[in-house]
A = this chain, B = another copy of it.
Amino acid sequence: MIAKPCGSLAVQLLICCTLMLVFADPVAPAPAPAPAPTTRSFRWDVEYIMWAPDCQQSVMIGINGKFPGPTITANAGDRISVEVTNSLHTEGLVIHWHGIKQIGTPWADGTASISQCPINPGETFTYEFVADKPGTFFYHGHFGMQRAAGLYGSLIVNGTDEQKEPFADEYDGELNMLLSDWYHENVYAQAAGLDGKDKHWQWVGEPQTLLINGRGQFDCSLGINRDRRACDRRKTDAFCKEEDKSERCELIRRSECGPFCEASQCAPVVFDVQPGKTYRVRIASTTSLSALNVQVQGHKLTVVEADGNFVAPFDVDDIDIYSGESYSVLLKTDQRQLPYWISVGVRGRKPKTLNALAILNYTNSKSGWPAGVPPATPAWDNVTRSKEFTYKIKARAGTVRPPEAVDRRIVMLNTQNWVKGHIKWAINHVTLSLPATPYLGAYYYGIEAIAFDATAESPDTYDQSYDIEKPPDAQAPEAQSPTAVSDRVYRITHGTVVDVVLQNANALEKGVSESHPWHLHGHDFWVLGYGDGLYNHDRDSKALDTESPPLRNTVVLFPHGWTVLRFVADNPGVWAFHCHIEPHLHMGMGVIFAEGMEKLRELNVPREAMMCGQATKAVVPLAPAMAPSPPSP
């Protein structure tokens, strides 16, 4: 970061502009062969902070006083230990390590109601798990809508001699971009709107700002027809209230260069690069809602990694990325030594949010703002283009193939429904409602019967007469297939090979079907294929790709289409499988796999992670002497 405050705007505009930016971490060389696995320990204090991610001050969840949370970097095989202290005042919290399989440590998956109790205010819990493979990952809150409140950060696992990435020798340095979206309405109000009954239901709408590494500029386009002075002034006013005499605001006022000074929390990110090199750009998305498109002005991108798995390299001008996904792309700095726009825009929903911009800055370039108009996002409703990108993703040669024999096929119809006056998302007419007792604890203590609805399993299919092209209320009367609110699960025996057919359908509004990025915990899965309309097993299963299907942990289900994936139930634990759109999950769009519970006794589940809800009834005091004795007569 540049510490020198900007000078008078009138005099030093050009010079200042080079300083009005926050430089990303210096270019790191490709990692040297790593030493033997080690334990990487971190101490995090999670608390509310006042922050201005898009130049508007908001209350956010910060880690160690900052947003976004610190980047964790480890080598494949390392043990990661994060001691999390909850300094929120009234809220529990958990942290999910998105993309980490948690082999043998299912209680460290960080999913409230599923893998553990929320860490209560004032309590400390230590997540300990192995970074099982190299890749681009991230972490985030997984309780209520705390991810949307800002509880997230990057988790990068480097390759090693034992687990060498096939493209390891093809790049000279790395850049990291964690993408997110930001709402000015707090998540409590967002949730209350989504919980609203009948006409009081209120959708969260489009985000106010897109963020790159936690930075954006609300309602202020840096790129197109930019009037930086007005933009800065507006932002300064918003960012620093008149009565705020803090050092930061005084600095902004003195420097007259607005929030894009180094002192600001919303200055655009600058990635410094050297010419004539190849960079690995890690891109991950933890958006609450938005599907994104990422472009780098004047540069091609070669996709090499998806969700920590190696894909057959292919070149593109831009990539689509859905919430929950990550990619690595290789970028050659083979252009003139100038600054270039990195542009991130919304896809799939009619955008009301300005593109987020960062800067790729060649060393020795005549510094300043990039020339020209930042790359525009492809037409938001061009689904064909999105499919073309997605269909290109294939496993790199050498990737393990899926088993051929399938033990169980679960077809999951995705519908949007009115349920007792509330709008919910449902899978096979069941909308997920999480219990107070974590499933993992319920199985561990043998109290399934009192902890959740264990009398029935989630259904493996749906009534095939359902017409996916019609809104639900145009189907047979709701009474014939009423949507249930339930915390029931799928029980999956250890070793089962499972195929999941995600079947999209029409939403409540006629002619509307949405994209859903489905994310599976505890596993990667093979993406065997996608298609439009209704999945027909006899016809469509023949066209599935079992030769080079990519491994992913998140996959998109396109509007009115289907997606088929396969995984092996080789990791005992209770795993969520859900749409990664935060409000959709809040509205019940997920299922639970209770996998290999018959092997649970081989796991050393920490009691303190399970001591809530009904589990408190499954224990007795250690010091019975302290139990009450009746008063003496």
Contacts and interface: CB of A to CB of B under 8 A. Distances in A.
Interface size class of A (residues with CB under 8 A): 35 or more
A246 interface: yes
A466 B576 CA distance: 59
Given A50-B200, A59-B189, A123-B613, A601 B618 contact: no
A372 interface: no
A47 interface: yes
A619 B619 contact: yes
Interface in A82-114: 89-93, 112-113
Interface stretch (A25-33, A388-396, A604-612): A604-612
A623 B20 CA distance: 62
B616 A628 contact: no
Nearest to A60: B192
A376 B154 CA distance: 57
B120 A436 contact: yes
Contact of A602 (B189, B611, B631): B631
Contact of A146 (B50, B90, B189, B193): B90
A435 interface: yes
B616 A623 contact: no
A49 B192 contact: yes
B247 A199 contact: yes
A91 B245 CA distance: 33
Contacts of A613: 120, 122-123
B621 A621 contact: no
A47 B618 contact: no
Contacts of A618: 621-623
A144 B89 contact: yes
A616 B621 contact: no
A91 B55 CA distance: 28
Contacts of A42: none
A275 to B, nearest CB: 41
A121 interface: yes
A196 interface: yes
A332 to B, nearest CB: 43
A603 B47 CA distance: 36
Given A123-B613, A618-B622, A50 B434 contact: no
A124 to B, nearest CB: 8
Given A446-B623, A618-B623, A612 B120 contact: yes
Nearest to A487: B122
Interface in A120-134: 120-123
Given A199-B245, A199-B246, A123 B436 contact: yes
A23 interface: no
A445 B93 CA distance: 26
Given A48-B195, A50-B196, A90-B143, A59 B616 contact: no
Interface string A617-633: 11111110110110100
Interface in A442-501: 444-446
Contact of A601 (B144, B196, B604, B629): B629
Most chain B beta-carbon contacts within 10 A, residue among A47, A121, A200, A625: A121
Given A50-B193, A186-B186, A122 B607 contact: no
A314 interface: no
A427 B173 CA distance: 56
A604 B436 CA distance: 25
25 contacts: A47-B192, A48-B191, A48-B192, A50-B196, A58-B189, A59-B186, A90-B118, A90-B145, A113-B122, A118-B120, A120-B436, A120-B612, A121-B144, A122-B434, A122-B436, A199-B245, A199-B246, A601-B626, A601-B629, A607-B621, A611-B611, A618-B621, A619-B619, A619-B621, A620-B622
Given A50-B192, A50-B193, 15 more contacts: A48-B188, A50-B202, A59-B186, A89-B144, A89-B586, A90-B112, A118-B120, A120-B436, A122-B435, A123-B613, A199-B245, A445-B626, A601-B629, A611-B611, A617-B622
